[in-house]
Amino acid sequence: MVSKVLITGGAGYIGSHAVVELLANGYECVVVDNLSNSSFESLARVQVLAKRYVPFYQVDLVDWATLAKVFEEHSDIESVIHFAGLKAVGESAQIPLEYYHNNVGGTVVLLQLMQRYRVKNLVFSSSATVYGDYTRYPGMIQVPETCPLQPSNPYGHTKFTIENILRDVAASGSWKFAILRYFNPIGAHPSGLIGEDPLGIPNNLLPYMAQVAVGRRNKLSVFGNDYNTRDGTPIRDYIHVVDLAKGHVAALNYLQMRSKNLCEAWNLGSGMGSTVLEMYEAFAKACGNEISRDVVGRRSGDVPLLVAKPTKAELELNWKTELDIKEACEDLWRWVTKNPFGYSQHGVISRKVSDDDYENRLVTLGYGSRFQLVISNKGASIVDLLVDGQSVVLGPGDPGDYSGVTIGRYANRIAGGKYDLNGKRYQLVTNENGNTNHSDGNCYSGKHFLGPLVKTPSKGLFIAEYFLLDKQSTGFQSDLQVGVIYTLDIQTKALDIQYKGVLSRGQATPINLTNHTYFNLNKVNAATVQGTEIRLATNKVVDLDGTLHRLSVSTFDAKEEKSTVLNTEGPCYDHCFIVADHTSLDSTKDKLRSILRASHPESHISLEVLTTEPSFQFYTGDKLTGFLPRSGFAVEPARYVNAINNSRWKETVTLSGKSAYGSRIIYRFT
């Protein structure tokens, strides 16, 4: 039985790392975040990283009604991990009311809703700040949880107030509360995919140093070197964010194993103190760069020493830190070098199709350039493709048109909708011709892919990765993990699409993936493909029954003088053209072949399609419903039509065991 956890502030620095660890430990996660100081991008990446869907709601905790809807929709939430809150000490002194309103007010609403929906477990993000300057107590080098609390700033007061609320509430009824007092979280996930992305000027030492190291900031300010410490700079207990995230899993496990009421606080720290200068040295070593620094005056509210006595968490939660500051600095450096602007990426923009629909975002790659791709989670589809500012694809259409979408689990037709696999016969829903096309009602066009995970490895190059866990259905056995990777190369105006498939459960499945974009190379001037000049690599086609024959169409072959010109009446094609006799199950390492060249004399835009696939369906779009007939033509490189029912080709569309399916398509424009 999977336990469902609501994570407030789950898109933030610590929250996103906690989601990763919770998923890895078998918890199901629902995230709410007001995104006031975080980005949904973190969660999009976490989902791809974990290959798991995480429902997300942009909710402000003080908004009772909206938060109530989340509890209503997820009536099986068992626990809450409460990260949400404003967290800048300095800012809290400027706008204390916002801090009380958000932190205290938000927590009270959350607890009221937990009470209403009978959710009794809560892990709360407190802070070592609640101790204040505990050096007033003699003999305390490592601060124990029993130390009297006396925070010295409004941020600390809000955490302290919430701790009091939790104690009072726990005493009033049946609740289990874990209060985690964080020391100084640093570092990033070792994948380099998620990390701290402070809005504006970073408040904390490490993010600030990192921004100096990548050139975003000029110089590090060291706030005071006249403290009574070994080198005069304040000592803090720095803890790797991944360790911290694991502490939440430990606390949640602890709560779940206890049957009695409880409200306990635990320090999450290493027990080891580092000075500012020591951290400076460690980070400088990790990044290998010079980091300018200046010693300036003390910052108000800073205490000289804040190091955890970590034994209570070790004894009771069975948790202790496993990573050191060296690893934290290396992971941080990986994160900032891969993401110098955090979750913002030059040339990438993301927008929602409708409010709160985070499962259906439109992401633009190459924004502001001469070659732009707009993709959507729904069907991992191509929503738009702009060549020198001109749109050359139809974009979303009627579901039956498959316009722009990824086609799977099985592209193209299956004769009679039947196939045999491992001695069992499968029957799919069939269309009016008695066959199944594009997996019929179960096509990827209607599925929401996770991601995209966008990388910009070099200037002008964008890689966007979608992920789908395609669960077994009546027509298809076995669970399938599907990857769709778009690589946009601005300089060569090439869009490279890779498909990947591996089994995640079950024995075998038919597989055949492609993209179903309709192209119109003169869309800006004409609603149809009228006048488009086409040449194909071959005129050889295979029918559904395996018959091979040739069609009348211009090929690359020099013998034809003219290209085939598409007009509104004809010629009409909807055929599987054959360019190779053989293919690997994973064709991505196979030879790339040019299969189609199209151009339009009016727009002067040319398209070349290349693929590692042995065949391609070429369709002149004669039966479109959401658009005019022949509004665009489709080129769908894939395995041979009906290959699953053809003994010679069956193995090229049958994924089993640990093997991998792969294919590659490139659209190149000039």
Residue 570's CB: how many other CB atoms inside 10 A? 12
In whole angstroms, how close is the CB of 112 to a copy of itself at the nearest point? 6
From 115, 289, 390, 431, residue interacting with a copy of itself (rule: CB under 8 A): 115
Which of residues 168, 357, 569, 574 is near a copy of itself by CB under 8 A?
168
CA-to-CA separations, 216 to 281, 341, 343, 451, 505, in angstroms, rounded: 19, 8, 15, 27, 46
> Which member of 1, 97, 257, 548 binds a copy of itself (CB under 8 A)?
97
> Is 169 or 178 the residue whose CB approaches a copy of itself more closely?
169
User: 501 and 480 in contact (C-beta within 8 Å)?
Assistant: yes
> Residues 6 or more apart from 583 whose CB is under 8 A from it?
590, 612, 613, 614, 639, 652
* 445 scored as a contact of a copy of itself (CB under 8 A): no
* Nearest approach, Cβ of residue 105 and a copy of itself (Å): 5
Residue choice 95, 262, 291, 508 for contact with a copy of itself (CB under 8 A): 95
189 Cβ contact partners less than 8 Å away, ≥ 6 residues apart: 17, 20, 49, 195, 241, 242, 331, 335
Token pair for 582: 């053989």
Give the CA angle between residues 53, 40, 3 to the nearest 5°: 35
CB of 159 to a copy of itself, least distance (A): 12
Say whether residue 34 binds a copy of itself (CB under 8 A).
no
Among 75, 172, 218, 292, binds a copy of itself (CB under 8 A): 172
Residue pair 255/178 in contact by the 8 Å Cβ criterion = yes
Least distance CB 201 / a copy of itself (angstroms): 19
Distance CA 661, CA 586 (A): 4
| Helices and strands: H and E segment counts in the chain | 12, 42
CB of 109 to a copy of itself, least distance (A): 8
108 near a copy of itself, judged by CB under 8 A: yes
Q: Which of 23, 30, 169, 411 binds a copy of itself (CB under 8 A)?
A: 169
**Interaction between residue 300 and a copy of itself (CB under 8 A):** no
Q: Which stretch binds a copy of itself (CB under 8 A): 23-31, 88-96, 308-316, 616-624?
A: 88-96
Assess 400 for contact with a copy of itself (CB under 8 A). no
Smallest distance, a copy of itself to C-beta of residue 66, A:
15
Binding-site member from 58, 112, 203, 568 for a copy of itself (CB under 8 A) = 112
Tokens of 248: 């939440």
Q: What beta strand segments (E) does 159-301 contain?
A: 176-182, 184-186, 220-223, 235-236, 238-240, 262-268, 274-275, 293-296
**Judged by CB, which is closer to a copy of itself: 172, or 507?**
172
Q: Does 164 bind a copy of itself (CB under 8 A)?
A: yes
Which C-beta is closer to a copy of itself: that of 171 or that of 628? Answer: 171
Spatial contact of 47 and 65, defined as CB atoms under 8 Å apart: no
Mask for 519-558, x = binds a copy of itself (CB under 8 A): ----------------------------------------
Per CB under 8 A, the segment of 163-171, 350-358, 529-537, 640-648 that binds a copy of itself is 163-171
C-beta separation of 577 from 593 below 8 A:
no
Task: Kindly determine how many residues on this chain lie close enough to bind a copy of itself according to the rule CB under 8 A.
Answer: 26
User: Which string of b and e fits 191-219 if b means at least 16 CB within 10 Å?
Assistant: ebbbbbbbeeebebbbbbbbbbbeeebee
Whether the CB-CB separation of 379 and 371 falls below 8 Å is answered with no
Give 102 or 631: the residue with its C-beta nearer to a copy of itself.
102
Indicate which residue of 516, 575, 600, 604 is catalytic.
Answer: 516
Give, as one character, the DSSP assignment of residue 149: P
Q: Distance between CA 195 and CA 599 in Å, rounded?
A: 45
Select from 586, 580, 583 the least CA-distant residue to 656. Answer: 586
Q: Does 101 bind a copy of itself (CB under 8 A)?
A: yes
Q: Which is nearer to a copy of itself, 101 or 650 (CB)?
A: 101
Contact string (CB under 8 A) for a copy of itself, positions 128-157, x = contact: -------------------------xx--x
What is the nearest approach in angstroms of a copy of itself to the Cβ of residue 116? 10
d(CA 306, CA 323): 19
CB nearer a copy of itself, residue 108 or residue 140: 108
Taking the least distance from each CB to a copy of itself, the nearer of 110 and 242 is 110
Work out whether 165 is an interface residue with a copy of itself (CB under 8 A): yes
Largest CA distance in the chain: 95
Q: From CA 192, how far away is CA 338, in angstroms rounded?
A: 7
- The residues with which 656 forms a beta bridge, in sequence order, are 508
When binding is defined by CB under 8 A, the residue of 51, 55, 105, 391 that contacts a copy of itself is 105
Minimum distance from residue 158 beta carbon to a copy of itself (Å): 9
CB of 152 to a copy of itself, least distance (A): 11
Q: Angle CA(402)–CA(408)–CA(414) in degrees, nearest 5?
A: 90
Is 82 one of the catalytic residues?
no
Sequence-separated (6 or more) residues with CB below 8 Å from residue 164: none
Using rule CB under 8 A, residue 171 touches a copy of itself:
yes
Question: Which of the residues are catalytic?
Answer: 516
Binding interface with a copy of itself (CB under 8 A): 92-97, 99-101, 104-105, 108-109, 111-112, 115, 153-154, 157, 161, 164-165, 168-169, 171-172
